[in-house]
Amino acid sequence: MAATVNMFNIGKSGLMVSKQSMTTTGHNIANVNTEGYSRQDVQQTAAPVIPNARLTFGNGAWAKSVTRVSDEYLEKRIQGEHKNFANAEEKDLYLHQAEQIFNESNNDGLNRIATRFFNEFRKLSSDPANTAIRSSVREASGQLTSEIRRMDNELREVSKNIDDRLTGYVRELNAYSKEIADLNLAIDKAELGGGSAPDLHDKRDLALKKLGAMADISTSRDNNGRVTVTLAGQVAIVNGESVTELEVMRSPADPKTGKKEDHVDLYVKDGREIPQKLTQILKTGRLGALLEVRDKDLATARDQINKVAFMMAKEVNFLHEQGYGLDGFKGRNFFNQINSVENAAQNLRMTETIENHLEAIAAAKEPGSEGDNRMAIAISGVGDLKGTGGDASSSILDIYNAMVSGLAVKTQASQKELVFQKDVLSQLENVRESLVGVNLDEETANLVKLQHAYAASAKVLQVADETTQEILNNFR
């Protein structure tokens, strides 16, 4: 009799296990497109058996646990490559923007405008008393100064955009830290009774991946399996269930680091009196990329533009001041006097005298000679003057050209890097998909298999029922 009763139990356990497996399969199918989802498996074993004296029968099946398929090493690699990819992506975005500012490819940039400026002086040298030429000298210098200002303004604008983006990313980073800490707690609770929480693990892995894209992080697990996240090897931003938030503060201009305007810096309070500045130690990920572009590439570009403006004013004024205008006066500047390289691009303007009096443009070396073109010739040569570009063999325009070339090299490198990182990442993602991803065919096949198992278990119940009926009917 025991055997018949046991058959009911076995049939029931078969139905249960099949149903649980079908549920999991359904869960897998439902999550086929969920980001970061790992396929789950029901670990099914034979139910425990109470050993009997002579004949031991099985007790049916038992679903031991639901586990997710995962590879921690692979997840870490993906996290690392994701960081590199994110880094390349940000760099590419902003370097490309900066490069566009210089507009050098459609032959419309500063290079052409500055060359035109000096050529106007050359033209003036061929007919120094000509008012039409004088006014085109003035027009060309107006274009030159406004172009230099425009470039400086736009570079500044890109820096400001980066500041905004930094602020946004820090907010995101804090949100991920919070999410990870919350999940630490949730997983801890869920697994307290020896259970498993595969979906929560997936979520935490995903949050870690996204957090890892922001900056250089390292992770470790404590005894309870809770994740600790350390930023740049220094600051523990997630520790079990507690979070240390990063903060964004505006810093004033700092001539030591070469930053012209107020800019955003990243800090962490970390229980200290004085917040610790993180700007210099973040080198990788999205934050690292943004800081590098802002503090290195854009800062250099602006420095060079300022240098160009400063040298332009200095060298042109030096000559112009010695020359005589058509009115026979000397000692006048062409551009406003600029005393320091800092902000030179913004300060480069024609003097009011030149702006309002064409005859004040000095083409002559001696007074009273309308045809004297020596100063115009001298000024027309300033653009090619060696030794004005920082070393003995380079000219003012070389400063600019070298800067544009440098930026172009970096932009090209970042484009290549982006393509490369994208390939690396998608290869790794494919490996991950092949390991933990959901395959609908496989799940469908499983479903069919489980359906059969379910039907067979139902059959077991039917047989058990019929045999029991048989006995019951005989004794009626």
143 vs 119: CA distance, rounded Å: 13
Considering only residues 16-35, where is the footprint of another protein by CB under 8 A? 32-33
396 vs 401: CA distance, rounded Å: 9
DSSP codes, 394-417: --HHHHHHHHHHHHHHHHHHHHHH
404 binds another protein (CB under 8 A): yes
Out of 321, 374, 394, 468, point to the residue binding another protein (CB under 8 A): 374
CA atoms within 13 A on the CB side of 221: 12
**The one segment of 260-268, 270-278, 296-304, 442-450 that binds another protein by CB under 8 A:** 442-450
- Using an 8 Å Cβ cutoff, are 34 and 438 in contact? no
324: phi then psi, degrees, rounded to nearest 5: -110, 140
Helix-then-strand count for the chain, H and E: 12, 9
Out of 46, 253, 445, 456, point to the residue binding another protein (CB under 8 A): 445
**The one segment of 80-88, 105-113, 207-215, 224-232 that binds another protein by CB under 8 A:** 105-113
And the tokens for 215? 């900056």
Tell me how many residues contact another protein (CB under 8 A). 59
Tell me which H or E stretch contains 110: helix 110-126
Find the shortest distance in angstroms from Cβ 259 to another protein: 25
Q: Which is nearer to another protein, 196 or 401 (CB)?
A: 401
132 binds another protein (CB under 8 A): no
Tell me which H or E stretch contains 476: none
6 binds another protein (CB under 8 A): no
And the tokens for 138? 């003035």
Find the shortest distance in angstroms from Cβ 194 to another protein: 29
Find the shortest distance in angstroms from Cβ 393 to another protein: 14
Out of 240, 258, 275, 437, point to the residue binding another protein (CB under 8 A): 437
Q: Which is nearer to another protein, 12 or 374 (CB)?
A: 374
257 binds another protein (CB under 8 A): no
Find the shortest distance in angstroms from Cβ 209 to another protein: 15
216 binds another protein (CB under 8 A): no
Q: Decide: residue 14, CB within 10 A, 0-12 exposed, 13-18 middle, 19+ buried.
A: buried
Helix (H, G, I), strand (E, B) or coil at 62: strand
Tell me which H or E stretch contains 288: helix 285-292
Mention every residue, 6+ apart, whose C-beta is less than 8 A from residue 442: none
144 binds another protein (CB under 8 A): no
Site string for another protein, 169-188 (x = CB under 8 A): --------------------
- Using an 8 Å Cβ cutoff, are 138 and 355 in contact? yes
Q: Which is nearer to another protein, 52 or 434 (CB)?
A: 434
C-alpha closest to that of 453 among 20, 3, 9, 131: 20
337 binds another protein (CB under 8 A): no
55: phi then psi, degrees, rounded to nearest 5: -110, 125
370 binds another protein (CB under 8 A): yes
Considering only residues 75-104, where is the footprint of another protein by CB under 8 A? 95-96, 99-100, 102, 104
What length does the chain have? 476
Q: Which is nearer to another protein, 115 or 239 (CB)?
A: 115
**The one segment of 41-49, 269-277, 302-310, 363-371 that binds another protein by CB under 8 A:** 363-371
281 binds another protein (CB under 8 A): no
143 binds another protein (CB under 8 A): no
C-alpha closest to that of 228 among 214, 243, 213: 243
291 vs 279: CA distance, rounded Å: 7
Contact positions toward another protein, by CB under 8 A?
32-33, 95-96, 99-100, 102, 104-105, 107, 111-112, 115-116, 119, 122-123, 125-127, 129, 364, 366, 368-374, 377, 380, 384, 397, 401, 404-405, 407-409, 411-412, 415, 426, 429-430, 433-442, 444-445, 448
